[in-house]
Chain A
């Protein structure tokens, strides 16, 4: 049996708010003020971008020094198809740039007309972003420069600024196409027909609902489909008193573990059609489907006598 693979777009966004240490804070605040800072190591090297600890000795670094906004390309790569989030949306060169006064190189973009205009050793300078907030993107990119290398200009900034930047929000978004795999595809397709199907382990015979394709006790594939329910038994429950965002359900309500008839473990669902304080272990329930719903909206009492504890104690 082949069923069409189910797919759905899945967007994962994680905007982390990150605090900065003293060196990163000075560096990013400096970029906001169009000042590039490095940090000096005990052996006299100047690291740009600056870090809090020496990458060789792990010694704490705090000696900030200003370097030039001009520098030399140490390596490059031509990016003819910029991707989302990258510094420029027209073709550009990725570059490592050793700024004048620095001993290490900074990664950024170089705005150049084409790969023939870029070479290792070429001179470049910072192009500042019009709007700056204290982030690496305050450098919009680099651009070609005819400045001489090793200029003797004196820069004396010590890294102290009015209103230091102390944190950044690192935005991130990744786009996926989610596909649930064979077992869950079959489960979801059955739900669309208002049937709940589990899968039986060929070894221990336990029926998993929802199925995930494997029996975690035996470590073997499950494949034999078993329709379960529609009736089931409340094995345990809780009373929810806090309204969830984006959920149009009056509190208090009951959320329960429900062992559907024939299932080897309980799934969970909301109990409706009965006052919240009358729900109990052993209550017999059945799913309530709503028009267009892809899964049971909730479960309601069937009116059958309560199940005997012995019949569901293994499913708690």
Chain B
């Protein structure tokens, strides 16, 4: 028998260019407390804890074990960690709840990009034989994808600038966002991508609580039920992939049931403007869908947390009654290599 599992609470930091006055656990802890407060749960009530982070970002070995201090992990709790965006930690927690081993899960992730040079750090996730020795940075790889989209007529530079402007305008109502309002589109970073086409670099954290069945209804007035969630990956060699398309996103969406009925909202993890073009196409989102009302990753991109934030933002809109069926997407790797899609729904509202 399949259990119904919902996102019942979400919290995030204010995302900032630097949080140098705080250690990772000091940055994370207020978010953990906030998400627990929203449900009235204590850390000892949580059945399973799962986190996502990468030590390479801040250059701190085993930082995730130090971050565990913030959840009260002693005596030992049932816990796991992924060296991935927190969206994948949420996936692991969802499977844990499906097994019936736990009824509640705390999922969190954090990233401090400020201590290092994130464009260079991300080269270390690439194929060590053919790519990493060339140090192709994250903006360069996204720019190759953007040029391919322009060459094939899917977009142009003004259209990309419009994605950037819409995202930061929407972020004006998101107090957590790092880049809000009118932001100059700037010069080329790696042509054809300009400063405005790239995400801000910054530090931040996010946390989500999942609960199963009746427990979810007790903890949240309008739970955001996960109707489907799936993730798929493509070949790691960029030259093998069709960069103007995202078959992994489409397949994940299909497996998550995204195409069964239209969604009203989509939170897409597209750190670069050009990637939104790819994702809209792969997910068949028409103009009737509200895309990234939070401002998306172009407004705040704490690496390792930005994907989990997409799920959290989509869920929060359902909690607030602003959405009935929302799609959340998270990505990992260069040029949308790996993609996760979740479909969230609220139950019919009484006022309708």
A interface vs B, CB < 8 Å? 5, 7, 10, 12, 16, 18, 20, 24, 28, 47-49, 51, 55-56, 74-80, 83-87, 94-96, 98, 104-109, 115, 120, 135-137, 168, 170-172, 174-185, 212-221
Contacts and interface: CB of A to CB of B under 8 A. Distances in A.
Interface string B149-161: 0010000000000
A219 B151 contact: no
B40 interface: no
B71 A55 contact: no
Contacts of A48: 239
B130 A216 contact: no
Given A77-B147, A219-B32, A96 B239 contact: yes
B282 interface: no
The A interface, classified by DSSP as helix, strand, loop or mixed, is mixed
Given A107-B134, A177-B20, A219-B29, 17 more contacts: A51-B237, A75-B243, A85-B123, A86-B135, A86-B137, A96-B239, A104-B237, A105-B238, A106-B239, A174-B120, A174-B124, A175-B117, A178-B60, A182-B26, A212-B25, A212-B66, A215-B72
B289 interface: no
Contact of B59 (A76, A136, A174): A174
Nearest to B117: A175
B57 to A, nearest CB: 9
Contacts of A74: 148, 239
Interface residues of B, number: 62
A48 B239 CA distance: 8
A219 B22 CA distance: 16
Nearest to B145: A75
A212 B59 contact: no
B73 A176 contact: no
Interface stretch (B186-194, B215-223, B323-331): B186-194
B267 to A, nearest CB: 27
A293 B114 CA distance: 29
A299 B130 CA distance: 52
Contact of B25 (A5, A76, A170, A214): A214
B20 A179 contact: yes
A216 B151 contact: no
Contact of B147 (A76, A170, A176, A212): A76
Nearest to A18: B128
Contacts of B143: 77-78, 94
A75 B147 contact: yes
